[in-house]
Structure 1
Amino acid sequence: MLKKLLVILTICCCFAITYASAENYSISGKVQDSAGHPVDMAIVVLHMLPDSAVVKGTYTDSVGNFILDQLSNGRYYVSISAQGYRPWQNELITLSNESPNKKVPLIKLSLLPTGLKEVEVTARKSLVVQKADRTVVNVDAMLSAASSSALDALERCPGVQVNQDGDIRLRGKQGVTVFVNDKPTYLSGTELANYLKTLPASAIDQIELMTNPPANYDAAGNGGIINIKIKRKGVKGFNGGINASLNQGHLTRYNNNLNLNYRNNKVSAFLNAGFNTGENYTDLDLNRTYLDGGNNPMSYFNQKSYFWRHNDGGSINAGADYSLTDKTIIGVTMNGMAAKWKSINDNNSYLLDLGRQPDSTIISQNNDYGKSNNLGINLNYKTQFNKSGHEITADADYLVYNTNRDQAFYNTGYSANGVERSKDLLTGQLPNRINIYALKTDYALPLAHQWKFSSGLKTSYTATDNKAEYNNTINNITSPDYNKSNQFIYKENINAAYINMSHEAGKLSMQAGLRFENTTTDGHQLGNPQKPDSAFTRNYNSLFPTVYFSYKFDTLSNNQLGINYGRRINRPYYEDLNPFINPMDKFTYYVGNPFLKPSFNHNIALSHTYKNKITTSLSYSTTVDDVNETIEIVNGIYYSRSGNIGTKTFITLSVDGDFDPTKWLNLHVYSEVSNLQSKSNFYNGTLSTGGNYWFIAGSIRVKPAKGWEGEIYGNYRSSINDAQFIMQRIGVINLVVRKKISDAFSIRVGINDILRSQVNYGKIGNLTQATANWINRSDSRNGTIALSYKFGKAFNNTARHNETGADAEKNRVKG
Structure 2
Amino acid sequence: MNLKPLTVVLCLLQLSSFAQSKLSVSFTVSDEKGMPLELAALQLYADSTMKLSAVTDSAGIAVFSLDTPGSYTLKVNTLGYAPVNKVIQLRDSNAFFRLSLSPSGKSLKEVVITQKKPLMRQEDDKTIVDAEPLAEVSTNGYEMLEKTPGLFVDQDGNIYLSSTTPATVYINGREMKMSRSDIASMLKNLPPNSIEKIEILRTPSAKYDASGGGGIVNVVLKKGVKIGLNGSVNAGFQQGVYGNRYAGLSLNNNNGATSSYLNVNLTTQNNYQQLNTNRVLTGDTLLEQKAFTKYPGQVAFTNYGISKDINDRWNLSWDGRLSYNSSKSNTHNDNNIVRSSTEDVLGSTLSLVDNKSQAFLSDQEIGAKLKIDTAGSEWVNRASYTYAYNNLDQVYNNTSVLLNSNGNGNVGTNRHYGVIQSDLTRKIGKGFTFETGLKSTYLYFTNDALYYTGGSGAIDPTRTNKYNYRENLNSLYVQGAKTFGGFILKAGLRMENTNMDGHQLTPGDTTFSIRRSDLFPYIYFSRKIMTIASYEIRAYLVARRTINRPSYEQLNPFPKYVDQFMSEIGNPTLKPQFTQNYEFNVSAGEKPLLAIGYNDTKDMFTNVFYQSAQNVSQAYRSYDNIGANKEFYLRGLAAIPPGKAYFAVIGGQYNFNRYEGLYEGKPLNFSGRNWLFFTYHQLKLDKRSTFSLHGFWRLAGPLQFYQLSDMGSLTLSINRKFLKDKLFLSMNMTDILYTNNNTFTVQQGSVNASGYRGGDTRRFGLTIRYNFGFVKKEEHGDMFQVDADGKK
Note if 1:622 corresponds to 2:600. yes
For residues 266 and 499 of structure 2, the distance between their equivalents in structure 1, rounded to whole angstroms, comes to 38
For residues 52 and 178 of structure 2, the distance between their equivalents in structure 1, rounded to whole angstroms, comes to 38
Note if 1:576 corresponds to 2:554. yes
Give a deviation string over 1:544-585, Cα, whole Å, max 9, x none: 111110010246553211111001111123433333433332
Pick aligned residue for 2:457 from 452, 475, 478: 478
Q: 1:503 Cα shift?
A: 1.4
Note if 1:718 corresponds to 2:699. yes
Q: 1:43 Cα shift?
A: 12
For residues 111 and 621 of structure 1, the distance between their equivalents in structure 2, rounded to whole angstroms, comes to 52
Q: Match of 1:536?
A: 512
Note if 1:551 corresponds to 2:543. no
Q: Percent identity?
A: 25
For residues 665 and 255 of structure 1, the distance between their equivalents in structure 2, rounded to whole angstroms, comes to 31
Q: Relative to structure 1, is the Cα distance of residues 88 and 460 closer, same or farther in structure 2, using a 3 angstrom cutoff?
A: closer
- Aligned AA for 2:76? V
- Aligned AA for 1:609? S
Q: Match of 2:362?
A: 375
Note if 1:365 corresponds to 2:352. yes
For residues 52 and 636 of structure 2, the distance between their equivalents in structure 1, rounded to whole angstroms, comes to 22
- Aligned AA for 1:699? Y
Q: Relative to structure 1, is the Cα distance of residues 361 and 108 closer, same or farther in structure 2, using a 3 angstrom cutoff?
A: closer
Q: Relative to structure 1, is the Cα distance of residues 327 and 413 closer, same or farther in structure 2, using a 3 angstrom cutoff?
A: same
Q: Relative to structure 1, is the Cα distance of residues 471 and 743 closer, same or farther in structure 2, using a 3 angstrom cutoff?
A: same
Note if 1:318 corresponds to 2:322. no
* Aligned residues: CA RMSD: 3.0
Contact between 1:48 and 1:74, CA under 8 Å: does it hold in 2?
no
Q: 1:540 Cα shift?
A: 0.6
For residues 457 and 155 of structure 1, the distance between their equivalents in structure 2, rounded to whole angstroms, comes to 34
Give a deviation string over 1:374-432, Cα, whole Å, max 9, x none: 11111211110222111111111111111111112111102xxxxxx221103221111
Q: Match of 2:489?
A: 510
Q: 1:215 Cα shift?
A: 1.1
Note if 1:599 corresponds to 2:577. yes
Q: Relative to structure 1, is the Cα distance of residues 653 and 381 closer, same or farther in structure 2, using a 3 angstrom cutoff?
A: same
For residues 534 and 594 of structure 1, the distance between their equivalents in structure 2, rounded to whole angstroms, comes to 10
Q: 1:337 Cα shift?
A: 2.1
- Aligned AA for 2:189? T
SS at match of 1:100: strand
Q: Match of 1:78?
A: 76
Contact between 1:73 and 1:95, CA under 8 Å: does it hold in 2?
no
Give a deviation string over 1:255-311, Cα, whole Å, max 9, x none: 3332212333433222122222111011111111222xxxxx221111111111102
Q: 1:609 Cα shift?
A: 2.2
Q: Match of 2:680?
A: 699
For residues 734 and 407 of structure 1, the distance between their equivalents in structure 2, rounded to whole angstroms, comes to 36
Contact between 2:706 and 2:746, CA under 8 Å: does it hold in 1?
yes
Q: Relative to structure 1, is the Cα distance of residues 89 and 756 closer, same or farther in structure 2, using a 3 angstrom cutoff?
A: farther
Q: 1:495 Cα shift?
A: 1.0
SS at match of 2:358: strand
Q: 1:796 Cα shift?
A: 8.8
For residues 513 and 579 of structure 2, the distance between their equivalents in structure 1, rounded to whole angstroms, comes to 23
For residues 236 and 105 of structure 1, the distance between their equivalents in structure 2, rounded to whole angstroms, comes to 16
Contact between 1:684 and 1:766, CA under 8 Å: does it hold in 2?
no
Contact between 1:88 and 1:109, CA under 8 Å: does it hold in 2?
no
- Aligned AA for 1:78? V
Q: Relative to structure 1, is the Cα distance of residues 595 and 313 closer, same or farther in structure 2, using a 3 angstrom cutoff?
A: farther
- Aligned AA for 1:385? I
Pick aligned residue for 1:664 from 629, 645, 670: 645
Give a deviation string over 1:699-731, Cα, whole Å, max 9, x none: 111112111111111211112224421112111
Q: Relative to structure 1, is the Cα distance of residues 609 and 220 closer, same or farther in structure 2, using a 3 angstrom cutoff?
A: same
For residues 332 and 101 of structure 2, the distance between their equivalents in structure 1, rounded to whole angstroms, comes to 73
For residues 640 and 713 of structure 2, the distance between their equivalents in structure 1, rounded to whole angstroms, comes to 22
Give a deviation string over 1:612-658, Cα, whole Å, max 9, x none: 44511110001112231211222212322233231111100111112
Q: Match of 1:120?
A: 112
SS at match of 1:404: strand
Pick aligned residue for 1:129 from 118, 121, 124: 121
Q: 1:118 Cα shift?
A: 7.0
For residues 640 and 346 of structure 1, the distance between their equivalents in structure 2, rounded to whole angstroms, comes to 21
- Aligned AA for 1:99? A
Contact between 2:223 and 2:259, CA under 8 Å: does it hold in 1?
no
Q: Match of 2:563?
A: 585
Q: 1:77 Cα shift?
A: 4.5
Q: 1:214 Cα shift?
A: 0.9
- Aligned AA for 2:526? S
Q: Relative to structure 1, is the Cα distance of residues 53 and 207 closer, same or farther in structure 2, using a 3 angstrom cutoff?
A: farther
Contact between 2:80 and 2:104, CA under 8 Å: does it hold in 1?
no
- Aligned AA for 1:445? R
For residues 403 and 398 of structure 2, the distance between their equivalents in structure 1, rounded to whole angstroms, comes to 8
Give a deviation string over 1:109-129, Cα, whole Å, max 9, x none: 9999xxxx9771422211110
Q: Relative to structure 1, is the Cα distance of residues 104 and 220 closer, same or farther in structure 2, using a 3 angstrom cutoff?
A: closer
Q: Relative to structure 1, is the Cα distance of residues 662 and 57 closer, same or farther in structure 2, using a 3 angstrom cutoff?
A: farther
Q: 1:141 Cα shift?
A: 2.4
SS at match of 1:576: helix
- Aligned AA for 1:334? G
For residues 196 and 207 of structure 1, the distance between their equivalents in structure 2, rounded to whole angstroms, comes to 12
For residues 178 and 392 of structure 2, the distance between their equivalents in structure 1, rounded to whole angstroms, comes to 17
Q: Match of 2:154?
A: 163
Q: Match of 1:563?
A: 541
Q: 1:767 Cα shift?
A: 3.8
Q: 1:252 Cα shift?
A: 0.6
For residues 638 and 461 of structure 1, the distance between their equivalents in structure 2, rounded to whole angstroms, comes to 35
Range moving further from structure 2, 374-383 or 315-324: 315-324
Pick aligned residue for 1:342 from 300, 325, 328: 328
Q: 1:318 Cα shift?
A: 1.2
Q: Relative to structure 1, is the Cα distance of residues 55 and 298 closer, same or farther in structure 2, using a 3 angstrom cutoff?
A: same
Q: Relative to structure 1, is the Cα distance of residues 499 and 451 closer, same or farther in structure 2, using a 3 angstrom cutoff?
A: same
Q: 1:792 Cα shift?
A: 1.5
SS at match of 2:384: strand
For residues 187 and 209 of structure 1, the distance between their equivalents in structure 2, rounded to whole angstroms, comes to 19
SS at match of 2:380: strand
Q: Relative to structure 1, is the Cα distance of residues 89 and 744 closer, same or farther in structure 2, using a 3 angstrom cutoff?
A: farther
Q: Relative to structure 1, is the Cα distance of residues 44 and 692 closer, same or farther in structure 2, using a 3 angstrom cutoff?
A: closer
- Aligned AA for 2:736? I
Q: Relative to structure 1, is the Cα distance of residues 689 and 254 closer, same or farther in structure 2, using a 3 angstrom cutoff?
A: farther
Q: Relative to structure 1, is the Cα distance of residues 261 and 202 closer, same or farther in structure 2, using a 3 angstrom cutoff?
A: closer
Note if 1:206 corresponds to 2:197. yes
Q: Match of 1:243?
A: 234
Q: Which runs of 4+ in 1 moved over 6 A?
A: 48-54, 91-97, 104-112
Q: 1:93 Cα shift?
A: 8.7
Contact between 1:234 and 1:795, CA under 8 Å: does it hold in 2?
no
Q: Structure 2 unaligned runs (5+)?
A: 1-24, 45-49, 67-73, 779-792
Pick aligned residue for 1:391 from 378, 403, 415: 378
How many residues matched?
A: 731
Q: 1:586 Cα shift?
A: 1.6
TM-score, normalisation: structure 2:
0.86
For residues 101 and 524 of structure 1, the distance between their equivalents in structure 2, rounded to whole angstroms, comes to 59
Q: Relative to structure 1, is the Cα distance of residues 250 and 182 closer, same or farther in structure 2, using a 3 angstrom cutoff?
A: same
- Aligned AA for 2:563? D
Note if 1:499 corresponds to 2:478. yes
Contact between 1:488 and 1:579, CA under 8 Å: does it hold in 2?
no
For residues 79 and 245 of structure 1, the distance between their equivalents in structure 2, rounded to whole angstroms, comes to 37
Q: 1:353 Cα shift?
A: 2.6
- Aligned AA for 1:720? G
Q: Match of 1:305?
A: 291
Q: Match of 1:810?
A: none
Q: Match of 2:273?
A: 282
SS at match of 2:266: strand
Contact between 1:693 and 1:719, CA under 8 Å: does it hold in 2?
yes
